[in-house]
Amino acid sequence: MRRRFKMLFLGLTAVLFLGILGGCTKQEAKQRDAWQTAQQTKTLTWGVKADTKLFGLMDVKDSQIKGFDIDIAKALTKQMLGKDARAEFVQVTSQTRIPLLKNGNLDAVIATMTITKDRQKVVDFSDSYFDAGQSLLVPKDSKIHSVKDLNHPGTKVIGVVGANSVSNVKKFAPKAQVIQLQDYAQALTALKSGQGAALTTDNGILFGMAVDNPQFKVVGKAFTKEPYGIAINQNQPALKKHLNQALEEIIANGEYNRLIKKWFGDIPGFNYREVER
C-alpha cells in the first residue's frame, strides 16, 4: 500500500511538473523577442503546408516541401538576416498552424492564410503577400458554372476544416450542404469519389489541384477576396516591421515577380500577371 501510494504521488508530481513546464513555455513564447532571437541564431522557423500544390507540397523524391510559400519564406529570411541565414520549416495544417504558432513552436506561418478580423484577434499579420480569391473546382462535364449554382437544397460542396472558405460558401450558397474534411488531399479524394458536386477554396490552390487532375476544372470568377498574410505572435513589433520591410524589398528587386512567374506562369487558366507586383 505504501509503495502504491508513493508511485501515485510521484506520478501526480510528474504531471504537475509537466503542466507547469508547459505553462512556462507558453508564457516564454509570448514574452520572448522573436526578432532578437532570429538575429542571434540567424534562423527563422516557418510553419508551412505540405499538401497544397504550388504553395507548399511534399516532394516524395527528396522529402522536401516545395512551393511558392516556401520560396517566399527563404527569400524573406535571407533578406532579413543575410545570405548565410537559414529558413527552417515545420509542416502545418489549417487546424494546427495557429496553435503551433501560439505555443512558440514557430516564428511565423506562411501557409495560404487569409487575413481576417477573427484571426487578427489572436495573431498579427504582415502585409498581404498574395491576393487570392475563392472559387470552385468541378468535374469537366459539370453543369456548375458559379457559386450561385450550388445554392440548392441537397447540393453538396466540399471544404476544409479551419479554412474561412467554408464560412464564405455558406454565405453565398446558404442552401448547399457543406462537407468539411481535414485537409486538401482528403477533400480532393472526396470530390473524385463523387461525395460532392464541387470543392471550394482559394483559386490558387484549386489551379494547383487541376494541374495534376485534368478531369477537373476551375469555374467562375473569384467570389471573395482572400489576401494572404504571414502570421506571427502578437506583441512582436520588431519582427513584423522587418517582415514588411523585407517583403517590400523583394518586390522592389524583382525577386517576388520571379517567384510568381516560376510557380504560376505556366498554369492553364490562371492569369499570373494579376498577382504580380
Would 41-130+224-271 and 131-223 be classified into the same CATH topology? yes
Q: Among the residues of the chain, which ranges form H helices?
A: 2-31, 34-41, 68-81, 97-102, 165-172, 184-192, 203-212, 237-252, 255-264
Contact 38, 80 (CB under 8 A): yes
pLDDT of amino acid 30? 55
pLDDT of amino acid 31? 59
Nearest to 86 by CA among 68, 100, 73: 73
Contact 25, 100 (CB under 8 A): no
pLDDT of amino acid 268? 82
Nearest to 46 by CA among 98, 107, 96: 107
- Torsion sign (Cα): 163, 110, 187, 207: positive
Nearest to 138 by CA among 52, 217, 221: 217
Using one digit for the tens of pLDDT, what is the confidence trace for 171-183? Answer: 999 999 999 998 8
pLDDT of amino acid 276? 87
131-223 sits in which CATH class? alpha beta
Residue spans of the domains in the chain: they are: 41-130+224-271, 131-223
How many H-runs (helices) and E-runs (strands) does the chain carry? 9, 15
Residue type at 215 in one-letter notation: Q
pLDDT of amino acid 29? 53
pLDDT of amino acid 7? 38
| Full-model pTM | 0.82
CATH 1.10.10.10 assigned to 41-130+224-271: no
pLDDT of amino acid 3? 43
Cell of 174: 446558404
**Regions in the chain scoring below 70 on pLDDT:** 1-31
34-41 vs 237-252: helix axis angle to the nearest 10?
60
